[in-house]
Structure 1
Amino acid sequence: MRKLALVFLLISIFSCKKEIPKKIIIVERKRVNQSEMAALMLKMYDKNLENKTLVLQGKEPKDFPKEFLNIHTAQLTDPSNRNPAFKMFSNFYLNSFKKVFTTSKDSLILKHNNAVNSCIACHETTCVGPIPRIKKLLIK
């Protein structure tokens, strides 16, 4: 009986494994050759996402980001895209976006969606790739 207990004890001791902590690997995202316009549009996306969150909470967005005025001068990935249509869409976006910061609470959703739709309208003519992501900014 003692031998059986000793064997059981030895098996129990040696079958215990030391738990190895899991390593967390952090991978940095690198952006390759990003144009000024691409960087600016990512900031625009982030600001519109922030505005969406505020509007859904019933709060009014504050402080129109002046750096968005650089839309007229930021270097494009493809410089040939800076044409009269681009200028028109840029002005349309800025005007729509500014209204989000100067409107009453009752029309915030409408003004926010108008600004987002102005992004979509431009992207329908050039660089259609981000449209699905931009549509997620709309408030339904």
Structure 2
Amino acid sequence: MRNLVLITVFLGLLSVSCTTKETKQVQTTRYPNEDAPLALLMRAMFEDMEEIKDAVEKGNSIKSYLSKHRELLTARPTNPNVKTVTFELMGNAYLESLDLMEKSSEEELISNYKMLVETCLACHQQYCPGPIKRINLLNLPL
């Protein structure tokens, strides 16, 4: 009789625990730094670079992105230690390359675009290597 009571209590607890047990879903995030303004800006800059690449490949004119991209010098990063003198120098180098590319003659456009992509890669090799694989997608085909 005692075993029957124990079994009944056990089964009752088991059924209650199974019906009230919450299922936790593991949610993966594509962008682990999605709330930092600098991370948001960098993703927008990548999309802009895709537009620039498309325009360069098609020989179309390029609109100016310089004022928007200047924000990289002031946008709050995920890690405040990122904003060093080196970051500022590399950011300014990128902005100068972007300015040069936007003012390029048709003959210089491809080489100046390639230099712009290289400035992105150089900085990301120092600071945030995660996007390097994605940045490489911006390279023009040989």
**Band the TM-score falls in, shorter-chain normalisation:** 0.7 to 0.9
Aligned partner letter, 2:122: A
| Alpha-carbon distance in structure 2 between the residues aligned to 1:134 and 1:85 | 20
| Alpha-carbon distance in structure 2 between the residues aligned to 1:108 and 1:59 | 10
Report the equivalent of 2:103: 102
Report the equivalent of 2:93: 92
* Greater helix share, structure number: 2
| 1:66-109 deviation digits (Å, cap 9, x = unpaired) | 12111111000100010011011000000001112101111111
Q: CA shift at 1:65, angstroms?
A: 4.1
What are structure 1's unaligned runs of at least 5 residues? Answer: 1-28
Higher-Rg member (1/2): 1
| 1:17-46 deviation digits (Å, cap 9, x = unpaired) | xxxxxxxxxxxx886642100111111101
| TM-score normalised by length of structure 2 | 0.73
| Alpha-carbon distance in structure 2 between the residues aligned to 1:98 and 1:80 | 27
Q: Percent identity?
A: 29
| Alpha-carbon distance in structure 1 between the residues aligned to 2:74 and 2:118 | 22
Number of residue pairs matched by the alignment = 112
Give every structure 1 segment of 4 or more consecutive aligned residues whose post-TM-superposition deviation is greater than 6 Å.
none
What are structure 2's unaligned runs of at least 5 residues? Answer: 1-28
| Alpha-carbon distance in structure 2 between the residues aligned to 1:80 and 1:52 | 31
